[in-house]
Chains A and B, each alone.
Chain A
Amino acid sequence: MFKIFSPLEQFELNNYLQIKLFDNSILTISNFSFFLFLTILIIFFLFKLNNKNIVPNNYSYLMESINATVINLLPNKLIKNNNILGKYYPLLYTIFVFILITNLIGLIPYSFAITAQLIFVLALSLTILTGSIILGFNLHYFKFFNLFVPNNTPLFLLPLIVIIEFISFFARGLSLGIRLSANIIAGHLTLAIIGQLIYTFFYSNFSLISNIIGLLPFSLLIAISLLEVAISFIQTYVFTILTTGFISDSINLHGE
């Protein structure tokens, strides 16, 4: 008999260090904060342009291509007209790079996926939602509520439509976070479960047939790992483009 480990153990927070502060609170350094600081360090030291050289090297081309990917998320017409959406490009680039690097670091075996923590990703998406609401009120004052009234709505349907639009606005903010977190959790769970299956095939019964059959889930593991890399990129792209949509809706309401 061998021990079966729960595939959910990889998402548990383990405290490495606890420091008591003066007001009875405890500052905890856990695997979450460790990998968060690691991500920030990697981004800080790795993501920079080669400004000192006139001729760009291959690394500069990579950084420029990431910049181009993010800047192409912004709708062209808004950049040409008054460039108001272009002011939010640093925020969008930061969100894109941060989520991409955390997703990719989470794929390293025996590391920790920060974006698998729902509360963290939900806090990020609700911050973006709240920020876009504050931005909308700042630009349009009470005309911001025009966002909840679609164009050409019949008058008798107005109360129902406004309630539905109100709920859908907040549901979009929640779904932004839950989408990313659920995708990463599902992928990591699948990898853990298939890993357990391979372990069962290779170590439970030392026969050649079970080892040969075990090659099937092994190839599946490789395929799903590649899929997880693709999902990391796709989910980053989706998160950033939806953030752009939030900010664009707050600035332009219904395209006025």
Chain B
Amino acid sequence: MSFLGYKKYPTPVLRPLLPFIGGAAIVGYLFFKAQDKMLKSDTYKNDPRNPHAGRHLPDSPAAERGSN
């Protein structure tokens, strides 16, 4: 960020982080999938805290287009 007035040092920052970025992508995908499943489950689909409560959530945008 030399444009903010900081000095540039040749420390490799991004390359060592690549495995952890990959790990974050895998964990993020799994957690969002689990969240989606919980939102659509019978226990929580009519919960007042659920922002999608009372709405029919399609499994995918393609399925929604197919129903019309």
Within the assembled complex, what's the spacing in Å between the Cα atoms of A12 and B26?
Answer: 27
Chain B interface residues (CB < 8 Å from chain A): 5-7, 11-13, 15-17, 19-24, 26-28, 31, 51-52, 55, 57-58, 61, 64
Q: Which residues of A contact B58 (CB under 8 A)?
A: 24
Other-chain residue from A51, A90, A123 in contact with B13 (beta carbon distance below 8 A): A90
Q: Is the interface of B mostly helix, strand, loop or mixed?
A: helix
Chain A interface residues (CB < 8 Å from chain B): 15, 18, 23-24, 26, 28, 48, 51-52, 87-88, 90-91, 119, 123, 126-135, 138
Within the assembled complex, what's the spacing in Å between the Cα atoms of A156 and B21?
Answer: 39
In the complex, the answer to whether A51 meets B6 with C-beta atoms within 8 Å is yes
Beyond A91-B17, A131-B22, list 5 extra A-B contacts (CB 8 Å): A90-B11, A91-B16, A123-B27, A134-B19, A135-B20
In the complex, the answer to whether B51 meets A28 with C-beta atoms within 8 Å is yes
In the complex, the answer to whether A130 meets B27 with C-beta atoms within 8 Å is yes
In the complex, the answer to whether A52 meets B20 with C-beta atoms within 8 Å is no
In the complex, the answer to whether B7 meets A127 with C-beta atoms within 8 Å is no
The A-B contact count (CB < 8 A) is 62
In the complex, the answer to whether A131 meets B23 with C-beta atoms within 8 Å is yes
Within the assembled complex, what's the spacing in Å between the Cα atoms of A181 and B55?
Answer: 33
Q: Which residues of A contact B17 (CB under 8 A)?
A: 90-91
Cβ distance B49 to chain A, nearest Cβ, rounded Å: 8
In the complex, the answer to whether A26 meets B51 with C-beta atoms within 8 Å is yes
Q: Do A23 and B20 contact each other (CB < 8 Å), given the known contacts A51-B6, A51-B7, A127-B27? A: no
In the complex, the answer to whether A52 meets B23 with C-beta atoms within 8 Å is no
Within the assembled complex, what's the spacing in Å between the Cα atoms of A158 and B57?
Answer: 49
In the complex, the answer to whether B28 meets A123 with C-beta atoms within 8 Å is yes
Within the assembled complex, what's the spacing in Å between the Cα atoms of A48 and B53?
Answer: 45
Within the assembled complex, what's the spacing in Å between the Cα atoms of A91 and B20?
Answer: 9
Cβ distance B16 to chain A, nearest Cβ, rounded Å: 4
Which residue of chain A has the shortest Cβ distance to B16 in the bound complex?
Answer: A87
Within the assembled complex, what's the spacing in Å between the Cα atoms of A138 and B23?
Answer: 13
Other-chain residue from B26, B55, B57 in contact with A130 (beta carbon distance below 8 A): B26
Cβ distance B41 to chain A, nearest Cβ, rounded Å: 16
Cβ distance A239 to chain B, nearest Cβ, rounded Å: 15
Within the assembled complex, what's the spacing in Å between the Cα atoms of A135 and B21?
Answer: 11
Q: Which residues of B contact A123 (CB under 8 A)?
A: 27-28, 31
In the complex, the answer to whether A133 meets B28 with C-beta atoms within 8 Å is no
Within the assembled complex, what's the spacing in Å between the Cα atoms of A126 and B23?
Answer: 8
In the complex, the answer to whether B31 meets A119 with C-beta atoms within 8 Å is yes
Within the assembled complex, what's the spacing in Å between the Cα atoms of A48 and B16?
Answer: 22
Pick 5 A–B contacts, CB within 8 A, sort by A: A28-B51, A127-B27, A128-B23, A130-B27, A131-B19
